Amino acid sequence: MKIVIVGPGAMGCLLANFLSKLFSTSKDAENKIWFLDKNKERAAKIHQNGISIEGISGYWQSPVKATVDIKEIGWADLIIIAVKAYDTKEAVTQAKSLLVENTRVLTLQNGIGNIEIINEIVGSERVIGGATNLGATLLEVGKVRHAGHGETVIGRIDGKIPVEMRAIREIFNKVGLETRISRDIKGLLWSKLIINVGINALTAITRLNNGRLIEFEGTRRILREAVTEAIRVAKRKRIKLIYDDPLAKVEAVCEATATNVSSMLQDVLKKKRTEIDFINGVIVRQGQELGIPVPINSLLVDLVKTIEASYNLML
């Protein structure tokens, strides 16, 4: 299987390292995993040095190919979209020429709306949605710390389970990425959204690791209130969440990824744009449309946007 990962961030690099195990005994192993990047210098560095992982799964290095020139890749069996949600349209449009008859496009991105964007570009029959509770922190270009184990769940909006999706599940499990298939992808993505609603913005504001959020009375209370608002919105929309107790699940994820630096906190530390509009911002917009008060999520959105707008003023 020829796999192309679009976006060499923390999660993209972690996935590439795990998936490289699949081809570790093959003479053309480095030809099986590609990164498609938009940054020429970053792609060149990864192409030359490969990628490395450290942390809870040990340390190893993997050769991969990386390019900004889609013609070098040619085609793909599987395209994994691992860019920020606000870059989805541009990334998928760039990758579209890699499609052949049986190519599938898998999104493991944060937030709500990515599947709909990808559907419009490549057609819904090719698109597989997903969510992962893996924890990863990007240390520098091509180097990532594996900070938390977690299940990956994939599925299609229409609930169908084509043979290509089963193959993806088997490959992920084979390399140590615990993966299962769900027929209710909407419930899955909203369940992951609620986890991110509780964790990401709070870590970005406080600059705490995931696990620290539940160690302090103040942050734990805010986390619970933000999650409770999101649960109310999901229930009003009649979305079936995959966890019996979503709030307990959020706190369990904090514990399981205790040392992880959330993706939003990583963005803030690098003074980059965050995905706040696709996470807590979703709850604010949906809450307003449904007439459900969401003051905590509104406050979190305002604070994160203020941080973004004031990067050049920070001490």
Residue 133: per-residue pLDDT: 80
- The per-residue pLDDT for 138 is 86
Q: State pLDDT tens for residues 41-54.
A: 999 999 999 999 99
The domain over range 3-183 is classified in CATH as 3.30.470.10: no
Concatenated DSSP letters for the chain?
Answer: --EEEE--SHHHHHHHHHHGGGGTTSTTGGGTEEEE-S-HHHHHHHHHH-EEEEETT--EEE--EEES-HHHH---SEEEE-S-GGGHHHHHHHHGGG--TT-EEEE--SSSSHHHHHHHHH-GGGEEEEEE--EEEEEETTEEEEEE---EEEE-TT----HHHHHHHHHHHHTT--EEE-S-HHHHHHHHHHHHHHHHHHHHHH---GGGGGTSHHHHHHHHHHHHHHHHHHHHTT---S-SSHHHHHHHHHHHTTT---HHHHHHHTT----GGGTHHHHHHHHHHHT---HHHHHHHHHHHHHHHTGGG--
pLDDT in tens, 203-220: 999 999 999 999 999 999
Q: What is the pLDDT of residue 1?
A: 86
User: Which of 30-34, 115-119, 134-138, 159-163 is predicted least confidently?
Assistant: 30-34
What is the rounded average pLDDT for all residues in the chain? 92
| pLDDT for position 263 | 87
Q: Please tell me the predicted confidence (pLDDT) of residue 314.
A: 75
Q: Is 160 a catalytic residue?
A: no
Q: Is 50 exceeded by the pLDDT of residue 30? A: no
- Taking residues 289-302, what's their average pLDDT? 98
Q: Taking the model in full, what pTM does it have?
A: 0.86
What is the average pLDDT across 240-266? 91
Q: Is the pLDDT of residue 185 over 70?
A: yes
Percent of the chain with pLDDT over 70: 97
Q: What is the pLDDT of residue 174?
A: 93
pLDDT at 25 over 60: no
Domains 3-183 and 187-313 share a fold: no
* CATH of the domain spanning 187-313, picked from 1.25.50.20, 3.10.580.10, 1.10.1040.10, 3.30.450.20: 1.10.1040.10
- For the chain, the structural domain boundaries read 3-183, 187-313
Q: Catalytic one among 32, 186, 192, 249? A: 192
- 286: pLDDT strictly greater than 60: yes
Confidence at residue 60, expressed as pLDDT on a 0 to 100 scale: 85
Res 28 pLDDT > 80: no
